[in-house]
Amino acid sequence: MSRFLVVFLIVIALVLLIGLGIAGWMMGHYNRFVTLNESVTAQWSHVETAYQRRMDLIPNLVQTVKGVANFEKETYTAVAEARAKAGEIKISEDLLKNPAAFAQFQQAQGELGSALSRLLVTVERYPELKANQNFLDLQNQLEGTENRIAVARKRYNETVQAYNTKVKRFPGRIIASLFGFEPRPYFESQEGAETAPKVEF
């Protein structure tokens, strides 16, 4: 065998080894992105479930409140309108890939949460409603649901942080751009959330 052929075979073997190493490296990073992306999707489903539970409780709560005489109609009308607006937004995984749609979803859910808070604060003026067992049960369920929403959003944000960090850091950024993995939006607090609502009796 000639010396040239030996050198050629060694070069080919080295190129193949380097190619296999790069392919293995890329496959490892790609698989990590897939795993993180699936984690984001799974956490998003928990957020969806919590919001759906709230949407399901609201009609029962509004009907119970409507049954009390002299209750401010505009208060439960605001809740019904906010619920309808939040219900118009189609919740899907595509929402996570569109920051503007995600912000619109978050705003609608924030408005619904604010309307519910106003409803529950207004109830303080109605002792007969506060004594209604059905209302108290619904109020407890709603408070539990709001806690579930907070926990689901927190876990979602933690999962998105791990995913986004991988997408933005080198060398993951290269793989992310090659395969279309883009950063996902976070849930953020609503504007003015740091200020407690003012209630006057």
Listed range (44-58, 81-95, 173-187) with the worst mean pLDDT? 81-95
pLDDT of 165 higher than 80: yes
The angle formed by the CA atoms of residues 17, 23 and 28, to the nearest 5 degrees, is 125
Looking at residue 90, its pLDDT comes to 76
pLDDT of 19 higher than 80: yes
Question: Residue 192 region, left (φ>0) first, then alpha (ψ -120 to 50), else beta?
Answer: left
The angle formed by the CA atoms of residues 85, 86 and 91, to the nearest 5 degrees, is 130
Is the Cβ–Cβ distance between 191 and 185 less than 8 Å?
A: no
Highest mean pLDDT among 31-45, 103-117, 129-143, 179-193: 31-45
pLDDT of 193 higher than 60: no
Among 86, 89, 90, which residue's Cα sits nearest to residue 116?
A: 86
Q: Roughly how many angstroms between the first and final C-alpha of the chain, as a whole number?
A: 100
Whole-model pTM? 0.77
pLDDT of 32 higher than 90: yes
Residue type present at position 100: A
Q: What span, in angstroms and rounded, lies between the C-alpha atoms of 20 and 27?
A: 10
Q: What span, in angstroms and rounded, lies between the C-alpha atoms of 37 and 101?
A: 19
Looking at residue 196, its pLDDT comes to 44
Looking at residue 70, its pLDDT comes to 56
**From the CB of residue 190, how many other CB atoms can be counted at a distance below 10 Å?**
14
Position 199 confidence tier, pLDDT thresholds 50, 70, 90:
very low
Over residues 163-188, the mean pLDDT reads 91
Structure tokens at 183: 């950063």
Over residues 114-121, the mean pLDDT reads 84
pLDDT of 200 higher than 50: no
Is the Cβ–Cβ distance between 161 and 168 less than 8 Å?
A: no
Q: Is the peptide bond before 171 cis (omega within 30 degrees of 0)?
A: yes
pLDDT tens digits along 129-156: 777 788 888 888 988 999 999 999 999 9
Ordered by start, the domain boundaries in the chain are 57-158
Each as own residue / partner, the long-range contacts of residues 23-31 (CB below 8 Å, 24 or more positions apart, any chain) are: 26/175, 29/171, 29/172, 29/175, 30/175, 30/179
